[in-house]
Structures are given as C-alpha cells and as structure tokens.
Chain A
Amino acid sequence: MFFAVKLEVVVMPKRSVLDPQGVAVRNAVRELGLSNVGTVRVGKIIELEFAGEPDEAKLDEICRDLLCNQVIEDYRILAAAPK
C-alpha cells in the first residue's frame, strides 16, 4: 500500500502553562551563545501517513480527543510535502 498523504500534527503546550522543559532549553540556548533568545517551548510532532486524503472532521476529532490534551495543549495540522 502506498501512503501518498503525509501530515504532521504539531502539538505545543499552551502559552499559559508553565513549560519547565522549555525553560531549561532556553537557558541552555542562552548559555551556548544566543543571548537574545526569548521564549522557548518544547512540543511534539506526530507524523501520520495516509493512503488517501483523510476525512477532515474525523481528523480534527482525533486531534482533539487523542493527540492533544486541550487543557494544556494546542495543535495545528501541517501538510508535509508529498513523497
């Protein structure tokens, strides 16, 4: 089966939530020489490959219910370049 459609769901912590990992990374980035760094947040990318275009409504539902915890995270869907 050839999976022609590749999507990326980017899940990031909400700005209002303290992201201690992001803080630690920001401090390290600053120490290593980029002193003008501001906020750093650490999230994740979930890469999904589909045989064809997935149903948009269903995909959103799955993002909201499974891939993202809406209490603490936001998500956005990106289309990756076709293979």
Chain B
Amino acid sequence: MTPTLTPELIRQHGLSEEEFERIKSILGREPNFTELGVFSVMWSEHCSYKNTRRELRKFPTTGPKVLVKAGEENAGVIDIGDGWAVAFKMESHNHPSAVEPFQGAATGVGGIIRDIFTMGARPIFLLDSLRFGPVQGDSEPARQNRKLLRGVVAGIAHYGNCIGVPTIGGEVYFDESYNGNPLVNVFCLGILKRTEIARGAASGVGNAVFYVGSETGRDGLAGAAFASRDLTEESKADRPAVQVGDPFRGKLLLEACLELLTSGAVAGIQDMGAAGLTCSTCETASRGGTGVQIDLALVPKRETGMSPYEILLSESQERMLIIVRSGEEERVKEIFEKWDLPYSKVGVVTDDGFMRVLDKGSVEVEIPAKKLAEDAPIYEREVAVPPAPESIAVSDLPFHDPKESLLQLLEHPTIASKNWIFRQYDHTVRAGTVVPPGSDAAVFYVREADKYLAATTDCNHLYCRLDPREGAKIAVAEAARNLACSGAIPLAVTDNLNFGNPYRPENFWQLREAVEGLAEACRRFETPVTGGNVSLYNESPQGAIDPTPTVGMVGLIEDERWITRQYFRDEGDVIFLIGSIGDEIGGSLFLKTVYGKKAGRPPRLDFDRELALQKFVQIVIRTGIVKSAHDCSEGGLAVALAEACISGAQKIGAKITLPASNQRVDVLLFNESQSRIIVSVAGDGVEALQRQAAQMQVPLIQLGRVGGASLEIETATGTLSGPLDQLHETWYNSIALALSQQDL
C-alpha cells in the first residue's frame, strides 16, 4: 500500500541525498514512507529553520527580565514586575493568505493565539503588520490587491473578534513589491503570573498524553504529493487546500486550557501548529528528554480511511497535546467535558527517548525524538552583494508644489488613516484599551496586574531594500521611539523576517544584513529578542518582495500619567522639534510617491543620538509638561505635523515657521532623517523643556504654536496652507475610497 522510497519520492519530500543519508544514520536503517513524511516536515525550512538558524543565533536573547528565552518554548516570556509576566510573539501566514486571504489570515490569528495560551498566558491583545500591493486604480493587480486586503482584514476580524481578543494596533503598507505576495504578520501578547509559566515538555515517565480539540481531517494535505490511496476527484474534495479555522472552538480550547493549567493537572502542553501531531509529539519528547508513544487509532478523526501519513501530517486547526500528571486524568476529562471539547487519551510518556507511533497494533514510526527535533542539518547559504542602488541628487528632482506633495503623501494608503481597517477589528473587548489604533503605539491597561503596556510593530521596507542592515536597525529604533513617544520604556522584541528565496545569494545577503542590523540595534536598545518567525520564498515572477524584517516591540508605562498620544490638544500649546531639521530623502516615501523612485541611501541611524533623544523624551514626559509626542517617519516633518493636527478626535491646526536653511523647502518638509520627535507643551512648560534639552545637549527647535483651522507652514519660498478639513478628508477617506470600487 505505501509507496517504495525512490529518489524521486525523496526529492519530492524536499529532502536532499545528504539529508536522507543523515536520516539513515539516525535510524540505523531506511525510513519507511510515513517516517519519510515525518522527517520531511520536521526538517522543512518552516519547522527547522535549517537555512536561517546560523543567522538567528546572532540575536541577543538574554537579559535580566527574560524568563523564557527564544527557542526554548512556543513563545518568549518577559518579567514585568510585581510577580507578573508577559508572553508574546509574532508569526506570519503569508503564503496561505495569498491563496485564501480570509482563512489564511484567520488561521494565522488562531495559531499565534494558541502559541500564547500554550505558555499559560491569557491572550489579551493582538497587533498586525500587513503589506499589500497598491490598491488604488483600475489595473488588474490593484483589483487583486483589494480582494486580498478585504479578505485578510475580514479574516483577522472574524477570528480575533469571535475569540474575544482585541486587535489594538499595527501597521499597513502598500507597495508594488508586495503584488501577489501579501504579508500577514500577527502579534499576540498574553498575561500570566511568573510562577505559572507552562512548558511544552513531556515530563514524567508514565504520564498520559491527551489530545484535545477539533477532530483531525485532511487539512493542509492537498500539497502532499502522496498518500495511501489514489487521488481521485472525490478524494481531492476531501483535502482542503487551505486550513479553515474555527474561532469558536479556539475560544473553548483557550478557556479549557487556561482552566486546566490552573488546576495543576498538566505536566506539559503543546499546541499542534505546523506539522500538527508530528511536531507536537516529537518536540515535547525532545524537550522532556523522554519519549512519547501514541496510537493513531485513538486520535479523533473527522474523515474515514486516513493513513498514518495523513494523520501525522494533518494541519487541522484548534488542537492541543496535553501531558497529564498521573492521577489527574479524571480532572482533565471533567474540564474537557465542561467545555464540550472532543478529547482522547492517545498515548503515554516513555523513558526510551523515541517518538513512537502505533496504528492498530503495528509500529508505524519509531524515531529518536531529540535527533528528529534538533539534528536537522544547518546550512550556510551563499551570499552575494547586489549592485548598489541608484543614487539621487536633489538637483535632479524638479521642484513640486509642497502643498500638492503633502496631499499626495496623506492620500497614500501607507500614510492614510487605517480606520477602514481597524473599525472592523473589535479593539475594545476586554475593557483595557487606553490608546486605540491611530496613535504611535497602542496602550493597554492590564487590569489583573494593574499595569500599562505599550506595543508597536515597525518596518520600513524601502529602507530595507536599499540598505537592509540600516533598515533593520531603524525598524528597531523606530519601534523604541514609538514606545518612548507613548510614555513607555521598551522591554523586548519579537521579530518576523519576511524575505525571498534563500537560495538566491542576493536575497540571503539581505537576510544576513537585516539580522545583523536587528541584532546590533536590539543590543543597543537593550531589547532582547524573545522569539519570532521566518517566512521565506516570498516571491512572484517579478521577483522577491522588498526585504521586510518586521519588529514587534513591547514596553511598560509605569505611571498612568505618562501615557502620551500623538495629536495636538490645546490652542496656544508650543510645538517643538526634538532633533535636527534633517536632509536625507533617500528611500523616502516622498521620493517614491512624487518621483516614482526607490533610490538613494536610506537615512543613517546614529545610535547615540537616538538613545539620547529617547531618554530625553522619557524624562520630559515624566515631568508632566508634554502634551503630545509624535515621531517623524514616512513623509517627514510635514506629514508628522499634519497627523498631529488631524488624527485626534478633535482636529486642531498649527502655525509653523521652518528654521532658515539652505536646503530646498521640499527636502526640509519631507526628508526622513532619523531621531526626530515633535512634541507640544503648554506655554508654561517651554522653559523646563529648553533647560532639559540644553542639559542633555539634545537639539531642540521651536517650530510654532497649536491653534487655528489649518496647518500653516511658513517656508523660505512661501506658506504651505492646509485647511484641516481638506487635509483630514484626504487622509481619512483614502482607503475607504479605494475600496469602494466593486471588484468582481
């Protein structure tokens, strides 16, 4: 019944000759067909990181607050004080979302939520970092991109809203490099007591192994080339190409598992994510230094006639593996029955170090668990430095009316308000959202711990394309800067690396550069990487996506009074720019949007200057004089000022005078030089601000005052006058307008 192992079959399972030899030496014999499937999935890039592990080791992963570090468990855990801790992680579901945006995004949310509650943490909020191709206009790519956007947003909303975890922030970028390759990176954070961290180890020889959650079907197996029966049209219909998530089941599983964990009956817990039963069985055994034996006849199934291969490789959603302490089985069954969850005792923890899978009495799989989980080969990929990007000179760029450029930038979906998107997400459930989507960072009040957390995701792909190392450093710096602007101290990072085919040396060079940039920045900002995800092969016939190392960062705001938002508040408040007026337009959205170029050197990041800036902002926020703080990023100073005027519930204008300079006016307004923050303070706070800046030698430029019904920027060549209604209308409705097109 099972196919013989031909070289062709081995190749189709993604295993090289050397890898096959390695398997033979681990087993002391040839693997059978099912075992081949097991190795193929455990040693796939997705599960083993065989091409990127060497790079990922460069990340700083330790620190005084790190309780569970990257790679140890499903998610990292950080101490936030007073006996409390947070588990958080970011993961991607890019390729499934390109195929089926709704379910791809929904199951992405489901998966990351499970990773968090598997640690014993109650998930309390989500962020998402999304990237699509352009959505404006009538071209076929634009229509496709709109469908992807609608589907992804609806999918995230469907799962997140139903399972009751608020989506409180994130980012969305639009660029041609993502045509056909949307990026869906989902971040989740959960709260737990530091003494209640759950582990995914099969500990306690003799302990029972339980399966709980949805029945196993053939989800995710359509891609598997082989099975024990012929692929007829009928059987194709039994194999959903896409995993379908059930957020209701996910909610029941979440509550049941958290209840289970507080009952003390659990010795180990692991979710079945990628490679389902295979991965969870082998990893728990490996972590426990034990073995796990399961019987497939006992696995709850929703299809008939499934082969061992299919059962082991199935990616059906909403399933967990639970190792139960001896004597606690009744307690566990009680809880599963309370929540009406299918469950089955499928096996036992052994002491022989093997992952052993039986089916109807015969041994189908017998593999040393630790070797399977940890001895995947590690490769060093070739790198090649791509040609340097085109350089640009301001003198080559014809001068355009700055008002027109500002409107163009505000209308660009990357900068425009994301309200069409986030109003579909329940961002108020759990009654903790203090700063909802629309400001630099989201702020959440964790009631049980009486603490305020801030979180953000960041990555400017234009910078990363032009200089991956610098771009990655800036992603970290910007995340920390956003947190500082919200009143928080950054704590730690989770990363999601999105790149192209690693076998192309230029792509791998980008990845290595980005990893090294990320690592250096995380060390400088003292934000260890607690875990993350790698997504490769993000390519279309047009080529790879712009390198996108997304950074998710979490911070703590120790006093409620320090919570700061990005918009101006009161007439008469004085506006300052902390930092230099800047002049770097390489890689800027201005250059891309007005001149159609992705060129030049991206802005330089000076760590010392950035750290001093953030420290300054933290100090002055604590004195109580700061009424708003907003960092300069895409679109530069002009866009940051406009956003500060129009992104609050009450729009309010500003009167600005640019300092004298021999830079061209548009360069002054739209450059994206780093380490710059706009703050507003009441009149009586001006002196204190200036004194502090002088003391810390931080550059401070007084720009003007809050007030009026327009944004007026006085420049050397005239006044840029933007009536608030016009600016707001352009910015607020841009995405809704683009999506009002009916795309059939």
Contact = CB atoms under 8 A, between A and B. Distances in A.
Same assembly: yes
Interface in A1-40: 27-28, 31-32
B744 interface: yes
Contacts, number: 6
Q: How large is the interface on A (under 10, 10 to 19, 20 to 34, 35 or more residues)?
A: under 10
A32 B743 CA distance: 10
Interface in B722-744: 742, 744
Nearest to A27: B742
A50 to B, nearest CB: 21
A32 B744 CA distance: 8
Interface in A21-79: 27-28, 31-32
A27 B744 CA distance: 10
Contacts of B744: 28, 31-32
Nearest to A29: B744
Interface string B51-81: 0000000000000000000000000000000
Q: How large is the interface on B (under 10, 10 to 19, 20 to 34, 35 or more residues)?
A: under 10
Taking chain B's interface residues, is the majority helix, strand, or loop, or is none over half, making it mixed? loop
Contacts of B742: 27-28, 31
A28 B744 CA distance: 7
A31 B744 CA distance: 8
A9 B132 CA distance: 41
A24 to B, nearest CB: 9
B608 to A, nearest CB: 56
Nearest to B742: A31
Interface string B636-670: 00000000000000000000000000000000000
A57 to B, nearest CB: 29
B587 to A, nearest CB: 40
Contacts of A32: 744
Nearest to A28: B744
Contacts of A28: 742, 744
Contacts of A31: 742, 744
A61 B336 CA distance: 32
A37 to B, nearest CB: 14
Nearest to A24: B742
B151 to A, nearest CB: 15
B5 to A, nearest CB: 42
A67 B260 CA distance: 34
A28 B742 CA distance: 8
A57 B480 CA distance: 67
A31 B741 CA distance: 12
B658 to A, nearest CB: 48
Contacts of A27: 742
A31 B143 CA distance: 15
A27 to B, nearest CB: 7
A45 to B, nearest CB: 19
Interface in B422-438: none
A40 to B, nearest CB: 14
A28 B743 CA distance: 9
6 contacts: A27-B742, A28-B742, A28-B744, A31-B742, A31-B744, A32-B744
Please name the 6 residue pairs, one residue from A and one from B, whose CB atoms are nearest each other, closest first.
A28-B744, A32-B744, A31-B744, A31-B742, A28-B742, A27-B742
